[in-house]
Amino acid sequence: MAKKDIKQIVQELLIQADIQINGKRSWDIKVINQDLYSRILAGGVLAIGEAYVDGWWECAALDQLVDKVFKEKLDTKIKISKGLLWDTLKARIVNQQRKSKAYVIGERHYDTGNALFQLMLDKRMNYSCGYWKNTKTLNEAQEAKLDLICKKLRLKPGMTVLDIGCGWGGFAKYAAEMYHVKVVGITVSKEQLKLARELCKGFDIEIRLQDYRGLKEKFDNIMSVGMFEHVGCKNYKHFFKVVDQCLKDDGLFLLHTIGSNQSVRFVSPWINKYIFPNGMLPSATQITKSYEGIFKLEDWHNFGTYYDKTLMVWYKNFNQNWDKIKIYYDERFRRMWNYYLLTCAGAFRAHRNQLWQIVFSKLASQIDYESIR
């Protein structure tokens, strides 16, 4: 196909979402390299992200661009590359999140470097959606999220709580400090383990380098924030069984996860390759099928609109602190990280993704539960 014909196809596609090539509005695309069109034709969605990182095209407001693309469902009209077809087939056949692969995400993403996350996140280093109700700053929104979780779990002094995917210990320290509970946190990231132990010194907190499938003890309550996206649909049922085995009979389990509007077996090929290897966003259907016969649903809370705001503050913090961050990373990394943050913000703004907090109790539990917001 001639380059001129490919460009015409791309232009006609973008016009459907009110996006112009080399236009003057913040969401319009500026093409730097004219080979962009043939690259997109050959590589599809993955090539779009890679071309941006390579500097082949620019956009003043990527979040606005992605919001428009998703609202018009233009991503469904972009050619699927052979690589993505193979990834889809592989996801159906192979368990890409099996136990032997448990530490891959820790090494590839969360071990990127603590300095990056310390400069981008809030003071408690929460790498998940804030709860912006009645708050103004990221620190306030993240503490509001932590307090919401503690209240939903009905924490009381002396309880022992398990945090699956504890990150840098933000929840563990808050719960121990404010609700006087003991917390056991597990992570698959060596960098997180090291800093979390340092940050949680002086509190009744134990941080372990451990995969959830190795858990054996019983806990009063269990929670997991931003970790279920790494479990994989082939392991959802087993994940709930492990939690059930570790939860005391009168305990509660809170799951905080990004959710997809549709059941899929893969994320964006660009996100999978460069940000979250083997990640997968669960759908409501996949979650309900997986906990059926194991848990009883007590509450399902959606506040996905808050993730857009959280991501935009992370983007602001990242770029305001770039002079400190660039000691460790190059300009190519900056473009990659901005693409990640802004495209995710646009996806939440377009309601392509959701953010769920789900509370469960055991099937035989007689708890009278009324949730809060």
Q: Are residues 126 and 68 part of one domain?
A: no
Q: Are residues 110 and 72 part of one domain?
A: no
Q: How far is CA 116 from CA 104, 121, 335, in A?
A: 19, 9, 14
Q: From 48, 79, 110, give the residue that closes a domain.
A: 79
Residue labelled with tokens 């506040």:
303
What's the pLDDT at 5?
82
Tell me the residue range of the domain where 196 lies. Answer: 101-362
What is the C-alpha separation between 345 and 66, in angstroms, rounded?
Answer: 8
What are 31-64's pLDDT values in tens digits? 999 999 999 988 988 999 999 999 999 999 999 9
94 lies in some domain: no
Which two structure tokens, joined as six digits, stand for 212? 């959830």
Q: Are residues 109 and 186 part of one domain?
A: yes
What is the C-alpha separation between 330 and 154, in angstroms, rounded?
Answer: 45
Q: How far is CA 21 from CA 39, 335, 342, in A?
A: 16, 20, 19
Torsion of CA 171, 281, 56, 2, to 10 degrees: 180
Q: Are residues 214 and 358 part of one domain?
A: yes
Q: How far is CA 38 from CA 43, 51, 103, in A?
A: 9, 11, 37
Q: Hey, which residues does 184 pair with through a beta bridge?
A: 162, 206
Give Cβ neighbours of residue 163 (< 8 Å, ≥ 6 apart). 171, 172, 183, 184, 185, 186, 223, 224, 225
132 lies in some domain: yes
Task: State the alpha helices, DSSP H only, in the chain.
Answer: 3-15, 36-53, 62-71, 82-93, 104-105, 114-120, 138-152, 170-179, 190-199, 236-246, 269-274, 284-291, 305-320, 322-325, 331-349
Domains contained in the chain, number? 2
How many CB atoms within 10 Å of residue 169?
27
What's the pLDDT at 41?
87
What is the C-alpha separation between 115 and 126, in angstroms, rounded?
Answer: 14
Percent of the chain with pLDDT over 90: 84
Q: Are residues 128 and 72 part of one domain?
A: no
Which one, of 77, 10, 88, lies nearest residue 264 by Cα?
Answer: 88
What backbone torsions phi and psi does residue 339 show, to the nearest 5 degrees?
A: -60, -45
Q: Are residues 274 and 329 part of one domain?
A: yes
Q: If you count them, how many residues does the chain have?
A: 373
Q: Are residues 186 and 44 part of one domain?
A: no
151 lies in some domain: yes
Three-state SS string over 71-133 comes to HCCHHHHCCCCHHHHHHHHHHHHCCCCCHHHCCHHHHHHHCCCHHHHHHHCCCCCCCCCCCCC
What's the pLDDT at 113?
80
Which two structure tokens, joined as six digits, stand for 176? 């121990």
What are 95-118's pLDDT values in tens digits? 655 565 555 644 556 667 899 999
What's the pLDDT at 110?
62
29 lies in some domain: yes
85 lies in some domain: no
290-318 burial, b at 16+ Cβ within 10 Å, e below that, comes to: bbeebbeebbbbebbebbbbbbbbbbebb
Which one, of 210, 130, 214, lies nearest residue 171 by Cα?
Answer: 130
For residue 155, give the DSSP letter.
-
What's the pLDDT at 147?
99
H or E element, residue 222: strand 219-225
135 lies in some domain: yes
What's the pLDDT at 267?
80
Report which residue type is found at 248.
K
Q: From 16, 48, 79, give the residue that closes a domain.
A: 79
Q: Are residues 163 and 16 part of one domain?
A: no
Report which residue type is found at 355.
L
Active site residues: 344
93 lies in some domain: no
Q: From 23, 44, 79, give the residue that closes a domain.
A: 79
Q: CATH no. for residue 129?
A: 3.40.50.150
Can you say whether the dihedral through the CA atoms of 73, 310, 21, 322 is positive or negative?
negative
Q: Are residues 61 and 112 part of one domain?
A: no
Which one, of 72, 52, 54, lies nearest residue 62 by Cα?
Answer: 52
Which two structure tokens, joined as six digits, stand for 107? 């090494």
CA angle 125, 307, 194 (to 5 degrees): 20
Q: Which residues of the chain have pLDDT under 50?
A: 81, 84-86, 89, 105-106
373 lies in some domain: no
Q: Are residues 283 and 138 part of one domain?
A: yes
What is the C-alpha separation between 359 and 5, in angstroms, rounded?
Answer: 52
Q: Are residues 214 and 156 part of one domain?
A: yes
Q: Are residues 348 and 229 part of one domain?
A: yes
What are 140-185's pLDDT values in tens digits? 999 999 999 999 999 999 999 999 999 999 999 999 999 999 999 9
